[in-house]
Chains A and B, each alone.
Chain A
Amino acid sequence: MKILVIAASNVRRMLRDRSNIFFVFIFPIAIILLIGAQFGGGVDPRIGLVVGSDDQLAADIAESIESAEGIETNRFESEAELVETVERGGAQAGVILPNGLSEVAARGDVVEIGFISRPDGSGTQLQSVANAAIAKVMTAVGAAQFAASETDASFEEALSTSRPLAEDGSSIGVEVTAVGEALFPSSMGQFDLGASSQLVLFVFLTAMTGSAALILSRQLGITKRMLSTPTSVSTVIVGESLGRLGQALVQGLYIIGLTFLVFRVDWGDPLGALLLLIAFSAVGAGAGMLMGSIFRNDQQAAGIGVILSIGLAALGGSMLPIELFSPTMKTVAHATPHAWALDGFAELLRREGTALDILPELGVLAAYAVVLLALASWRLKAVITRP
């Protein structure tokens, strides 16, 4: 099959180019990691602690925080030192546990614990981690306070009884309720959001910059030479299109596979994810072919391809999640194939949808692909048969 010969040579040539290897395979993963790190770190975030030197309750709470999973902790001598470290980013948050906490608790008063954080998103997440650790201790304290006030037992005696119970988890739970609808469910892994948005961004980017190869083939006279063999124009065009699709699929499957295996990114229903990837790759192939048929200069096409694909990706929700867009911008965003693909991945991932649930997204993407490929074929036929 000559179509497959042409398609395969395109894929082979993509895998050959060293700078391509970087942009196609290394860079996207690096970006996904970077975004993942911002969402909670490939390196665990750090909480600084200032702990009163002779207070049992402070020591207990500190220990509880230190044993919490997914964070690193550091103790500091003074509150000033902690604040400075947090300001400089040496820690993302700080908890201040002064002397006298036990006394306050024994009196049955409200225990106040200082929490400081950086003004970025990480603080809120760390606060909930700290809260949970504190709650674990304070549940027992609350029970002991109650017991001490209702019985003859002292607060200390009551606490020593209630603590093992609290740690068993058999104690009264502390319920934490978030206000408003959760945009991203807590079950979502730290890399999940970045992975699908970067997949979409980079697959499209590769397809667009790949148009340069098509132009180069024309400039070198290779396309003409192909037509001097017993190979029809339509075979050449379909082969080149299929080659672009193949390139996008290779990259997409690599990103999905690697992030799934190494970073445990959840891509949801496998069939749904595969169909989405194929549909979106076809859109990218069509866009790349169209670019390749419009421009005469490969450098120019690659440059404009980069700008266009970054712009479309930003508009389509690959940079800032579309959930955070205003209603008008959401509508505008859906002029891009990116938004539809990301909607599809969101459906699969966050709402546990199946291939059936993403039929509308698949349909829209298929329509994009058909229109772009038809336009590109028509343009390309004119261009490559031109003297």
Chain B
Amino acid sequence: MGNILEASGLTRTFDQLIAVDDVSFEIAEGETFGLLGPNGAGKTTSISMIAGLLEPDSGRVTVEGVEISTGSTKGKASIGLVPQELAIYPDLTAVENLVFFGRLYGMNREELARRVDEVLDVIGLTDRRDDLTKEFSGGMKRRLNIGIGLLHRPRMLILDEPTVGVDPQSRNAILESVEQLSSEGMAVLYTTHYMEEAERLCDRVAIIDEGAIQAEGTRRELVALVGETDRISIAAEGDLDAASSAAGSMSGVREAVTGDHTIEVLAADASSILPELLGRVSGAGVNIHGVEVIEPNLEAVFLHLTGKALRD
């Protein structure tokens, strides 16, 4: 699978502030790439440069091999940008907003009419299609905001914090449609400061802070990078010390200790050792009541990398 997006060495300063500092990454077809970082990390500034809305001080962006720049409309038809703000006309209906931007994306009438219906269906606004968007709830506006970016079936969809200020139901609907689009082969660039969203959606994640990418990879790679491990907590009774020493001698287990009616096991990859681990523990003559696997999350990775929490 080829790369749809290639961004290299993107840098942008505002006066003294280095908002984005040498940011590079690629996104392949069908891949969802996350930019995870707190407010002010430089996510929107990066995206603005990628979408050709902001001139970088240095660096280069290509989408499907076409160089993106602010002075040209070239390559922009390949991108669907869903901006962080709700960039929709409050005094137009959902359909009118879709048609307006569809025309700007250069779609012809018939194609647009068909896509408008499809997109309304995807974002669940078919029954509100002719209502003015100023009457919409925050979640509905968010969904329309996303729908506009999907209309022209872009090769690459860029979503800038698309779930901010959204009710849980709308949020879930949004995440599901991103998963769906990705499975259809769209390359997705997704920024967020919610680590659960990055974990759920993204094939690869770049952790960004103070304008720079601190680490990049799959969740497992990132976790491994900072030496965090999975934790398996086995609730049991019997000879717990014998069971934990049996577990501790297993390959793939880093450490096993006896807790208060539990055995705590640290392992690089819990899922691959779990069956054998449980066999050994019960073989040591204890009754197992329950098992809990706690995988280290990106929050922990972020904390490890930056020394601060993702959300202040």
Q: Interface residues, chain A, CB within 8 Å of chain B? A: 2, 5-6, 9, 12-13, 16-17, 217, 220-222, 224-232, 385, 387
How far is it, in angstroms, between the C-alpha of A220 and the C-alpha of B83 when the chains are bound?
Answer: 10
CB distance from A227 to the nearest CB of B (A): 6
Assess whether B85 is in contact with A9, with CB atoms less than 8 Å apart.
no
What would be 5 A-B contacts, judged by CB atoms less than 8 Å apart? A2-B103, A6-B104, A9-B89, A13-B92, A221-B87
Is B279 an interface residue when CB atoms closer than 8 A count as contact? Answer: no
Q: Which 3 A-B pairs have the closest CB atoms?
A: A221-B87, A230-B73, A221-B85
Chain B residues in 8 Å Cβ range of A16: 91-92, 132
Assess whether B104 is in contact with A226, with CB atoms less than 8 Å apart.
yes
A-B contact number at CB 8 A? 75
Known contacts: A12-B96, A228-B53. The answer to whether A220 contacts B104 by CB under 8 A is: no
Contacts beyond the supplied A228-B76, A231-B73, A387-B45: 4 A-B pairs with Cβ under 8 Å: A9-B96, A220-B85, A230-B76, A230-B77
Assess whether A5 is in contact with B103, with CB atoms less than 8 Å apart.
yes
Known contacts: A5-B103, A387-B48. The answer to whether A228 contacts B85 by CB under 8 A is: no
Chain B residues in 8 Å Cβ range of A12: 92, 96
Assess whether A228 is in contact with B81, with CB atoms less than 8 Å apart.
yes
CB distance from A325 to the nearest CB of B (A): 41
Considering the complex, give the chain B residue whose CB is closest to the CB of A216.
B90
- Name the contact of A224 in the complex, choosing from B83, B96, B132, B148 (C-beta under 8 A): B83
Assess whether A222 is in contact with B88, with CB atoms less than 8 Å apart.
yes
Assess whether B92 is in contact with A224, with CB atoms less than 8 Å apart.
no
Chain B residues in 8 Å Cβ range of A222: 87-89
- Name the contact of A228 in the complex, choosing from B79, B84, B96 (C-beta under 8 A): B79
Chain B residues in 8 Å Cβ range of A2: 103-104, 106
Assess whether B53 is in contact with A232, with CB atoms less than 8 Å apart.
no
Assess whether B70 is in contact with A385, with CB atoms less than 8 Å apart.
yes
Binary contact track B66-88/A, C-beta < 8 Å → 1, others 0? 00001001101101010111111
Assess whether B81 is in contact with A230, with CB atoms less than 8 Å apart.
no
Q: Interface residues, chain B, CB within 8 Å of chain A? A: 14, 45, 48, 51-54, 70, 73-74, 76-77, 79, 81, 83-92, 96, 100-101, 103-106, 132, 148
CB distance from A98 to the nearest CB of B (A): 67
Considering the complex, give the chain A residue whose CB is closest to the CB of B49.
A387
Chain B residues in 8 Å Cβ range of A229: 76-77, 101, 104-106
- Name the contact of B104 in the complex, choosing from A17, A231, A385, A387 (C-beta under 8 A): A231
How far is it, in angstroms, between the C-alpha of A36 and the C-alpha of B148 when the chains are bound?
Answer: 50
* B contact face: mostly helix, strand, loop, or mixed: loop
Known contacts: A221-B87, A224-B83. The answer to whether A5 contacts B100 by CB under 8 A is: yes
Assess whether A13 is in contact with B85, with CB atoms less than 8 Å apart.
no
How far is it, in angstroms, between the C-alpha of A2 and the C-alpha of B100 when the chains are bound?
Answer: 9
Considering the complex, give the chain B residue whose CB is closest to the CB of A2.
B104
CB distance from A171 to the nearest CB of B (A): 67
How far is it, in angstroms, between the C-alpha of A6 and the C-alpha of B92 when the chains are bound?
Answer: 13
Assess whether B101 is in contact with A225, with CB atoms less than 8 Å apart.
yes
How far is it, in angstroms, between the C-alpha of A230 and the C-alpha of B63 when the chains are bound?
Answer: 13
Chain B residues in 8 Å Cβ range of A217: 89
* A contact face: mostly helix, strand, loop, or mixed: helix
How far is it, in angstroms, between the C-alpha of A161 and the C-alpha of B75 when the chains are bound?
Answer: 97
How far is it, in angstroms, between the C-alpha of A147 and the C-alpha of B106 when the chains are bound?
Answer: 91
Assess whether B91 is in contact with A13, with CB atoms less than 8 Å apart.
yes
How far is it, in angstroms, between the C-alpha of A225 and the C-alpha of B48 when the chains are bound?
Answer: 10
How far is it, in angstroms, between the C-alpha of A228 and the C-alpha of B48 when the chains are bound?
Answer: 9
Considering the complex, give the chain B residue whose CB is closest to the CB of A222.
B87
Considering the complex, give the chain A residue whose CB is closest to the CB of B75.
A230
Considering the complex, give the chain B residue whose CB is closest to the CB of A385.
B70
CB distance from B79 to the nearest CB of A (A): 7
Pick the most buried of A9, A220, A225, A226: most chain B CB atoms within 10 A of its CB. Answer: A225
- Name the contact of A9 in the complex, choosing from B70, B88, B100 (C-beta under 8 A): B100
Pick the most buried of B84, B100, B106: most chain A CB atoms within 10 A of its CB. Answer: B100
CB distance from A278 to the nearest CB of B (A): 26
Chain B residues in 8 Å Cβ range of A230: 73-74, 76-77, 104-106
Assess whether B89 is in contact with A232, with CB atoms less than 8 Å apart.
no
How far is it, in angstroms, between the C-alpha of A334 and the C-alpha of B81 when the chains are bound?
Answer: 49
How far is it, in angstroms, between the C-alpha of A372 and the C-alpha of B54 when the chains are bound?
Answer: 27
Assess whether A232 is in contact with B83, with CB atoms less than 8 Å apart.
no
Considering the complex, give the chain A residue whose CB is closest to the CB of B101.
A229
CB distance from A292 to the nearest CB of B (A): 16
Assess whether A5 is in contact with B92, with CB atoms less than 8 Å apart.
no
Chain A residues in 8 Å Cβ range of B79: 228
Assess whether B87 is in contact with A225, with CB atoms less than 8 Å apart.
yes
Considering the complex, give the chain A residue whose CB is closest to the CB of B72.
A232
Chain B residues in 8 Å Cβ range of A227: 52-53
Known contacts: A220-B86, A221-B83, A221-B87. The answer to whether A228 contacts B92 by CB under 8 A is: no
Assess whether B100 is in contact with A228, with CB atoms less than 8 Å apart.
no
Assess whether B54 is in contact with A387, with CB atoms less than 8 Å apart.
yes
How far is it, in angstroms, between the C-alpha of A222 and the C-alpha of B96 when the chains are bound?
Answer: 14
How far is it, in angstroms, between the C-alpha of A230 and the C-alpha of B79 when the chains are bound?
Answer: 9
Known contacts: A9-B100, A387-B14. The answer to whether A228 contacts B52 by CB under 8 A is: yes
CB distance from B73 to the nearest CB of A (A): 4
Assess whether B73 is in contact with A232, with CB atoms less than 8 Å apart.
yes
Assess whether A220 is in contact with B87, with CB atoms less than 8 Å apart.
yes
How far is it, in angstroms, between the C-alpha of A355 and the C-alpha of B282 when the chains are bound?
Answer: 102
Chain A residues in 8 Å Cβ range of B88: 220, 222
How far is it, in angstroms, between the C-alpha of A229 and the C-alpha of B106 when the chains are bound?
Answer: 9
Considering the complex, give the chain A residue whose CB is closest to the CB of B54.
A387
Known contacts: A221-B85, A228-B79, A232-B73. The answer to whether A5 contacts B96 by CB under 8 A is: no
Considering the complex, give the chain A residue whose CB is closest to the CB of B83.
A221
CB distance from A244 to the nearest CB of B (A): 16
Known contacts: A17-B91, A385-B70. The answer to whether A225 contacts B81 by CB under 8 A is: yes
Considering the complex, give the chain A residue whose CB is closest to the CB of B77.
A230
